Amino acid sequence: MQAAKILIVLIVGYVARLQAVSLPERSSNLQTRWNWKYNRCKNGGTRITTFKGWRLKSNTQRGPQFTCSCPERFYGNVCQFHVCDHHDCQKGACEADKTNARGYKCNCMEGYKGKNCEVHVCDQHVCQNGTCEPVTCKTSTRGYKCNCMEGYKGENCNVPVCDQHDCKNGTCDADKTRTRGYKCNCIEGYEGENCEVHVCDRHDCKNENCESDTTRTRGYKCNCLEGYGGENCEGNLYQCVYHFMYSRIALMPQ
C-alpha cells in the first residue's frame, strides 16, 4: 500500500513536470538528445560536451548535453543554418563574410548598390542632358554613365559642345556624327574644319586679284586687270590683239 502511494506521487510529479515544459522545449530536448546519440552536429560542426550524467535532484539536466561549435558561415544549435539561408540581398548574391556583423555581405548585380542591393544606380543619377546607363565598376566607380543628347558633353552631360568650339570665322552647330560633337558653319569667303582658311589664300589668279564667290565651286573668282581675261586671268588680251593684227597684215597682198 505504501509502495502504491509512492508510485502515484512519482507519476503525478512527472506529469506535472512534463506539463510545465512547453512543446517546443520538449521537442528541442528530444532533438538534442537524438543528436547527441548520433553525433549530429551538421555542416562540419564540432560537438562540445557540457554535461555527461544525470542529476537526480535537478529538473534542468536529465541526460547527456552538448553544444556545437559551428564553422564559419554556419550557426544554430546543431549548425543547421547557413548565414545566407535568410539573407536580405534583394538584387544580388549572398556571400559569407566574417568581418560583417551579420555574417554575410551582398554582391550586387550590375546596376544596383546598397547594403542589400536595394538601390538602382540610376535612381540617384546626375545626368543633366542625357540618359543614365548602368555599367560595371571597372568602367565607372559610380556604377553608371551618362549618354548625352546631341549638343552636350561631359561626365554629367552638363556642357554644351559649342561652349568650347574652335570655329574661327563661322558659327558652331551640334553634330553627333563628328568625334568632337559639332561642326563649323563658315561665313562666306572661309573654309576648313574650323573656318580658318580664306578661300583666296589658295587662289590661282595670275594678277593676285581674288574675290570670294559662293556661286562658284571653288568659292572664289578672279577679277582680271585690264587687258587680261580667262578663269584665272591667264590670258593677255593685248597680246592676242597684236597677234591677230599681225596675222592680218601678213595675209595682205604685197
Strand pairing category for 65-69 and 152-153: unpaired
Convert the pLDDT of each residue in 189-222 to its tens digit.
Answer: 899 999 999 888 888 888 778 888 888 888 888 8
Residue-wise burial string across 143-178, b where 16 or more C-beta atoms lie within 10 A, e elsewhere: bbbbebeebbbbebbebbbbeebebebbebebeeee
Hey, how many other C-beta atoms are within 10 angstroms of the C-beta on 248?
A: 9
Q: What is the mean pLDDT of the chain?
A: 78
Quick check: 77 and 32 in contact, CB under 8 A? yes
Closest CA to 112 of 104, 102, 122: 122
Residue 51 CB-half CA count within 13 A: 12
Read off the pLDDT of residues 113-141 as tens digits, 9 standing for 90 and up. Answer: 899 999 999 998 999 999 999 987 667 78
Give the type of residue at 25.
Answer: E
The pairing of beta strand 182-186 with beta strand 170-174: antiparallel
Q: Which residue has better confidence, 73 or 243?
A: 73
Query: Which CA distances in Å does 219 have to 4, 191, 192, 199?
Result: 130, 9, 12, 6
Q: CB burial class (10 A; 0-12, 13-18, 19+) of residue 129?
A: middle
| Residue-level pLDDT at 236 | 78
pLDDT tens for each residue of 185-196: 999 889 999 999
Q: Which of 19-33, 90-104, 228-242 has the highest mean pLDDT?
A: 90-104
> What pTM did the predictor assign?
0.48
Contact 65, 47 (CB under 8 A): no
Contact 40, 70 (CB under 8 A): no
